[in-house]
Amino acid sequence: MPGLVTLVESLHKSEQPPLLDHAQRLPSGVACVALSPSATAAGAQLRSAGPYLGPYLSQVGHPVLFDVGMVVPDARAVPALSAADLLLWFVRPTREELLVLRHRLAECSQPEDVAVVLVGDTPYNESQVADGLGVEVLHTLSIDSRGAAAVNLGGDDRYLRRRVLARSCAELATRIAARATSTSSSAALRSADR
Cα distances (Å, whole numbers) of residue 177 to 106, 134, 141: 27, 23, 16
Q: Nearest to residue 109, comparing CAs of 144, 84, 92?
A: 84
More confident of the two residues 98 and 50: 98
What percentage of the chain reaches a pLDDT higher than 70?
A: 85
Q: Is the pLDDT of residue 192 over 60?
A: no
pLDDT in tens, 4-14: 888 888 888 87
**DSSP letter at 27?**
T
pLDDT at 121: 95
The Cα 182–Cα 56 span in angstroms is 22
Q: Is the pLDDT of residue 186 over 60?
A: no
What does the mean pLDDT of the chain come to?
A: 82
Q: Is the pLDDT of residue 68 over 70?
A: no
The string of DSSP letters for 36-52 reads: PSSHHHHHHHHHHHHHH
Q: What share of the chain is helix, strand, coil (3-state, %, to 5)?
A: 55, 10, 35
Q: Is the pLDDT of residue 139 over 90?
A: yes
